[in-house]
């Protein structure tokens, strides 16, 4: 399993890691075009950084327990990640170079997916502390943890739109896993992906008009693109491989 890039129409595919003996997944773009990702080349998950062409791969975590799911702050200076180094899967943060690693959520529940608000004022994350997976928010230092929505509806895989107005997330609140969006304050949730296509892991385009996500086709995850109003669904994969955990990056000449 490798990290690839492609154009928004699915063309110009490039393998950045080319490591057939290791699993590497969950890439995350920085605003200036660096890519953080999880690699298991040491037998467990560790966070790496690389250039947008796959060069200069640098390990930035080294821990006895897995470190997973990196996500950059919008200024590119901080990386959120998940680790169970304090006894359970929690949200952690570190400087871009791997320094100053510290736990944030620190709760005896399963907390892995997270994302910064573009203005840096809070972090949205997934937790099962209420006996099902739902979205919470907290301050950047881990304090003031509280539910995002007034209802107890489920949610996972949160991602802010670049303008900070919307959050994309995965939910089966209407009976089937799909991509939803809601206002950043937790109101006005609505389904974007169609019923009948099991979907997860949505990511906004730079202008917030579209989403890329993983949808199940014949039992395999494939990448799709859709307008935020639910129109113009396109399968970008259209192959026999498993493709998932896409992150729509900045516009770069790569």
116's tokens: 């910064």
pLDDT for residue 85 = 86
Q: Which residues contact 219 (CB under 8 A, 6 or more apart)?
A: none
Domains of the chain in start order, with CATH, are: 4-235 (2.120.10.30)
* Per-residue pLDDT reduced to its tens digit, 76-128: 999 999 998 888 899 999 999 999 999 999 888 899 999 999 999 999 999 99
Q: Nearest-CA neighbor of 182 among 154, 140, 207, 206?
A: 154
Residue 195 scores a pLDDT above 50: yes
Decide if 83 contacts 67 (C-beta within 8 A): yes
pLDDT for residue 33 = 94
Mean confidence (pLDDT) of the chain: 93
* Per-residue pLDDT reduced to its tens digit, 197-250: 999 999 999 999 999 999 999 989 999 999 999 999 999 997 888 889 999 998
pLDDT for residue 239 = 83
pLDDT band at 253 (very low <50, low <70, confident <90, very high): very low
Query: Can you give the chain as a three-state secondary structure string?
Result: CCCEECCCCCCCCEECCCCCCCCEEEEEECCCCCEEEEECCCCCCEEEEECCCCCCCEECCCCCCCEEEEEECCCCCEEEEEECCCCCCEEEEEECCCCCCEECCCCCCCCCCEEECCCCCCEEEEECCCCCCEEEEECCCCCCCEECCCCCCCCEEEEECCCCCEEEEEECCCCCCEEEEEECCCCCCEECCCCCCCEEEEEECCCCCEEEEEEEECCEEEEEEEECCCCCCEECCCCCCCCCCCCCCCCCCC
pTM: 0.94
Say how many residues make up the chain. Answer: 254
pLDDT for residue 252 = 54
Q: Report the pLDDT averaged over residues 128-152.
A: 94
Q: Which residues contact 55 (CB under 8 A, 6 or more apart)?
A: none
Rounded CA separation 105/142 (Å):
6
pLDDT for residue 99 = 97
Rounded CA separation 23/66 (Å):
13
Rounded CA separation 153/145 (Å):
17
pLDDT for residue 254 = 37
* Per-residue pLDDT reduced to its tens digit, 232-245: 999 999 788 888 99
pLDDT for residue 224 = 96
Rounded percentage of the chain residues whose pLDDT exceeds 70: 98
Q: Report the pLDDT averaged over residues 150-164.
A: 93
Strand partners, 166: 183
């Amino acid at each position: 399993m490798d990290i690839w890039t492609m154009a928004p129409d699915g063309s110009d595919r490039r393998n950045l890691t080319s490591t057939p003996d290791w699993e590497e997944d969950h890439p995350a773009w920085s605003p200036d075009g660096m890519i953080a990702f999880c690699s298991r080349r040491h037998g467990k998950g560790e966070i790496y950084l690389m250039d947008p062409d796959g060069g200069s791969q640098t390990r930035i975590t080294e821990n006895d327990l897995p470190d997973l799911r990196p996500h950059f702050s919008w200024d590119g200076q901080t990386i959120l990640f998940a680790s169970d180094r304090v006894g359970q899967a929690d949200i952690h943060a570190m400087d871009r170079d791997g320094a100053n690693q510290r736990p944030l959520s620190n709760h005896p529940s399963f907390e892995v997916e997270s994302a910064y608000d573009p203005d840096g004022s809070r972090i949205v994350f997934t937790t099962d502390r209420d006996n099902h997976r739902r979205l919470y928010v907290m301050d950047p230092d881990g304090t003031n943890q509280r539910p995002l929505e007034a209802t107890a509806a489920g949610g996972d895989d949160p991602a802010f739109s670049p303008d900070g107005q919307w959050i994309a997330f995965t939910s089966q609140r209407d009976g089937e896993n799909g991509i939803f969006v809601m206002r950043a304050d937790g109101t006005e949730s609505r389904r974007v992906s169609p019923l009948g296509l099991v979907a997860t892991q949505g990511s906004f385009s730079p202008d917030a008009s579209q989403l890329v996500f993983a949808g199940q086709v014949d039992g395999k995850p494939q990448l799709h693109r859709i307008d935020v109003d639910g129109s113009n669904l396109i399968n970008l994969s259209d192959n026999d491989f498993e493709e998932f955990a896409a992150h729509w990056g900045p516009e770069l000449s790569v």
